[in-house]
Amino acid sequence: EAQVTQNPRYLITVTGKKLTVTCSQNMNHEYMSWYRQDPGLGLRQIYYSMNVEVTDKGDVPEGYKVSRKEKRNFPLILESPSPNQTSLYFCASSLSWGSGQYFGAGTRLSVL
Amino acid sequence: GQQVMQIPQYQHVQEGEDFTTYCNSSTTLSNIQWYKQRPGGHPVFLIQLVKSGEVKKQKRLTFQFGEAKKNSSLHITATQTTDVGTYFCAGNNAGNMLTFGGGTRLMVKP
């Protein structure tokens, strides 16, 4: 079954404790992306990747890192989480830039 | 940077009534996509429009892309309770970023 898998689905952490949210897709998609969704602000792009070893900043990259060492995986790293990073995060992938994206189920993060 | 505005923010309709959401971009788009997100769920891709003036239909849903490729609309005919959710437009410009509108939350009274 074609899918985008995010882990964990829920995470509560404390300020400053490094964390990684994993994202994996099984569709051999080139384009992958991370979004955060906040009430009243819609979906905002954090980082995206056009292909392996190619990543670029989206609208709100501050405080986040990503890597794309393999085509299927695109982890999101928060080196030193802060409370303003409490949000619902979605990973997405698409065959190429510009085509419709498949979203993961989401990761709800709370930073205390 | 590119901005994509969507109106209305919320819409309550009686089941059977029609519904329309509008999307406006500050810049010319190369294409526009529409997504639906059910309460508690994740966005699901509905359709992509590429050509100026393009109109596409999916059963009761009609999607339009403006002649100037800066605006789009989604119209649902005779809403059903299964249409409940938030509808997002998302625009691709000449760069590689996808910018989402704020979404329109549709509520349908049975």
Per-residue pLDDT tens over the stretch B68-102:
999 999 999 999 999 999 999 999 876 677 899 99
Residues in chain A within 8 Å Cβ distance of B88:
42-43
pLDDT in tens, B13-53: 999 999 999 999 999 999 999 999 999 999 999 999 999 99
Query: What is the average pLDDT across A33-61?
Result: 93
The pLDDT of residue B90: 95
- CA-based nearest distance B82→chain A, Å: 20
Q: In which band, very low, low, confident or very high, does the pLDDT at B59 lie, cut at 50, 70 and 90?
A: very high
The pLDDT of residue B94: 66
First to last CA, chain B: 41
pLDDT above 80 (res B2)? no
Distance CA A110, CA A88 (A): 9
Portion 17-56 of A in contact with B at CB < 8 A: 33, 35, 40-45, 48, 50, 56
Across chain B, the runs of DSSP E, i.e. the strands, are 4-7, 10-14, 19-25, 31-37, 44-49, 55-58, 61-65, 71-76, 85-92, 98-100, 104-109
Mean pLDDT, all residues of chain A: 95
Residues in chain B within 8 Å Cβ distance of A108:
none
pLDDT in tens, A3-13: 999 999 999 99
Which of A19-28, A46-55, B40-49, B92-101 has the weakest average pLDDT?
Answer: B92-101
Distance CA B60, CA B4 (A): 25
Cβ–Cβ contact B97 with A under 8 A: yes
Token pair belonging to A109: 């993060």
Sort strands B10-14 and B104-109 into parallel, antiparallel or unpaired.
parallel
B100:A58 CB<8 A: no
The total of other beta-carbon atoms located within 10 Å of residue B38's CB is 13
CA-based torsion, A58, A20, B103, B58: positive or negative: positive
Cβ–Cβ contact A11 with B under 8 A: no
Cβ–Cβ contact B99 with A under 8 A: yes
pLDDT above 90 (res A74)? yes
B103:A42 CB<8 A: yes
The pLDDT of residue B86: 97
Query: What is the average pLDDT across A66-89?
Result: 97
Distance CA B100, CA B85 (A): 16
Sort strands A107-111 and A10-13 into parallel, antiparallel or unpaired.
parallel
A99:B48 CB<8 A: yes
CA-based torsion, A13, A61, B93, A70: positive or negative: negative
> CA nearest A30: which of A53, A46, A7?
A53
